[in-house]
Copies of this chain bind each other. A is one copy, B any other.
C-alpha cells in the first residue's frame, strides 16, 4: 500500500479461540494497536470480525501477528509493506524474505512438503527453518537480471536471531525498522527477533548464488543437509 493512506484490516476469526491483531511498528492510536491483554482494543471472539484502521504515516517494511504468542508462533502472522508515494529511485526487483522457525514433535528427517505436521507451540528448540514458509530445496529463488538494482526486505519474528549471507554480492542497509539508514555495506546481516532490515544490492556477478543463514544447523532440515534457511539469487 501507499504511505499517508489509511490502512484498513478486517480480521475475521475462524478459530475456536479468541484472537487480536497487532501491526508491529507504525505508531497508531491505542485502540488500534491490537493487544487487548493491555490496551483498550477488543478481543475478536470466534465467528466475529473486527476492522482495524490507522494511517500509514511511514513507508517501509512491517509485519503483523496475533497478540497471542501461541497463535503467533504457530504462524498467525504476515507482512505489510508500505511504499512511498513518489519513490525517487525505484529498485528493479523488490523481494520480501520472512524468516521463521518451527519445532516439529516427531520430525521427518527430510523435507516436510508432502505431509502435514503440527509445530510445537512457541518453537523454543526449532529444528525447521523457513523463508516465506518453505525450507530449501523448496524455497523460491530471487530472480534477477544483470545490472538490476535489487531490494531484499528481511523480516524476522521468530524466537531466535537468524543471520543471513548473500553469496557473491555485498549489499547496503537502506532501512532498519522502516527508518532510513545511510547505506552501510555488509556481506552478512544479523536479524534479531522483531526487526526488519531492507538492503539493496546491484546484480553485477552472474550465476546462481546461495542466500543462506550462516548458522550450520539452520542450513539443514532437522539435521539433514542441505536444507532450511537457504534460497538462491538466480540470474535469468
Contact = CB atoms under 8 A, between A and B. Distances in A.
Given A30-B206, A33-B167, A185 B179 contact: yes
Interface string A9-38: 000000000000010110111110101011
A17 B177 CA distance: 44
A70 interface: yes
Given A207-B30, A208-B39, A186 B190 contact: no
Contact of A185 (B24, B177, B193): B177
A184 interface: yes
A163 to B, nearest CB: 4
Contacts of A186: 176-177, 179
B217 A187 contact: no
Contacts of A188: 24-25, 177, 192, 194-195
Contacts of A104: none
Nearest to A217: B122
Interface stretch (A42-50, A81-89, A109-117, A220-228): A220-228
Given A186-B176, A187-B25, A230-B38, A216 B73 contact: yes
A69 B38 contact: no
A161 interface: yes
A4 interface: no
Given A122-B217, A168-B27, A205-B27, A190 B195 contact: yes
A138 interface: no
A165 interface: yes
A194 B165 CA distance: 8
A31 B68 CA distance: 47
A157 B163 CA distance: 10
Top-9 shortest CB links A-B: A30-B207, A194-B214, A190-B192, A69-B216, A73-B216, A122-B217, A179-B185, A188-B194, A159-B215
Interface of A: 22, 24-25, 27-31, 33, 35, 37-40, 68-70, 72-73, 121-125, 157-161, 163, 165, 167-170, 176-179, 181, 184-188, 190, 192-195, 205-210, 213-220, 223, 225-226, 230, 232
